[in-house]
Amino acid sequence: MAVRARQWLIAVVGTALTLTMLGLGLWQMRVFEDKENESAAARAAQPPVRLLDFVGTDGTVGDVYGKPATVTGTYLPDQQARVVAEDGTVRVVSALLLADGRVLPVVRGTLPASGSGPLPQPPAGRLDQTGVFLPSEAGSGATDTATELGSVRLPALAQFWPQQVLPGFITLAAAESAAQGLAPATVTLPSGDGAIQNVGYALQWWVFAAFAAFMTVRFVRTLGRHGSLGRLSQQEEE
């Protein structure tokens, strides 16, 4: 077989192997993401727990993020803020005063994107509130004010609210939001406990793919050099 033909054969086989292993790595990553999503959804579907059984007075948090939690308190109508997302969605976050003096931020629901009037007042009196407990959201905080935030950033709320803020917030379910005259807020669940070994498998396949690509190029070049040396030897003999 001619050198050029062997080079093409190695290139085709090596490329096929490389693409196959890249595909296997992507498949493993999809498996990992699916398992994470399933795990997060399963946590959010669990029966509610008592929030203060998992959040200590020193700020320690047990295994409660992403789970429904119930807490008892009284809303502070003067401590509310709009959380305006990039797409214009407006969430209403209100402070719920607990018996120990701390406050829990509660996303009560959403307003139309064009809504710029006074925020709806929270219900009065001592009551139980249940929602998925979530950690602080990311955000630059460059435009945060006491009444308008870019995300539910707990450090920002801690600056504007005088009480100690719990290390998390809850988002009420659709029925409770409707009862308070608000549309439901979308909950972005934290990452679940996806099978971490799938990430390792994906990285392993991608390492194999990189090695296959490297060896393919090396074999093709080596054949080319040997072919050139062979032609030179033949010319010298002639």
Diameter of the chain measured on Cα atoms: 105
**Long-range contacts for 38-41 (Cβ within 8 Å, ≥24 apart)?**
38/192, 39/192, 39/193, 39/194, 40/66, 40/189, 40/190, 40/191, 40/192, 41/189, 41/192
Report whether pLDDT(12) > 90. Answer: no
Q: What is the pLDDT of residue 199?
A: 62
Lowest mean pLDDT across 16-25, 48-57, 98-107: 16-25
Query: Which residue did the predictor score with more confidence, 171 or 207?
Result: 171
Q: How confident is the model at residue 6 (pLDDT cuts 50, 70, 90)?
A: confident
- Which residues lie across from 50 on neighbouring strands? 70
- Nearest C-alpha neighbor of 154 from the set 142, 143, 139: 139
Instruction: Round to whole Å and give the CA distance between 54 and 169.
Output: 13
Q: What is the pLDDT of residue 35?
A: 60
Instruction: Round to whole Å and give the CA distance between 196 and 188.
Output: 21
- The mean per-residue pLDDT over the stretch 75-95 comes to 90
Q: Which amino acid is at 216?
A: T
What pTM, to 2 d.p., does this model score?
Answer: 0.64
Q: Mean pLDDT of all residues in the chain?
A: 81
Instruction: Round to whole Å and give the CA distance between 191 and 34.
Output: 11
Q: What is the pLDDT of residue 196?
A: 53
pLDDT 10s digits, 201-210: 667 777 878 8
Q: What is the pLDDT of residue 8?
A: 78
Q: How confident is the model at residue 106 (pLDDT cuts 50, 70, 90)?
A: very high
Q: What is the pLDDT of residue 134?
A: 92
**DSSP string covering 112-168, please?**
-TT--SPPPPPPPSEEEEEEEEEPPPP---TT--SSEESS--HHHHHHHSSSPBPS-
Q: Which amino acid is at 4?
A: R
Name every residue whose Cβ is closer than 8 Å to that of residue 63 and which is 6 or more positions away in sequence. Answer: 54
Domain ranges for the chain: 3-39+195-237, 67-179
pLDDT 10s digits, 192-237: 544 455 566 667 777 878 888 888 888 778 877 765 545 545 544 5
Instruction: Round to whole Å and give the CA distance between 183 and 124.
Output: 19
Report whether pLDDT(109) > 90. Answer: yes
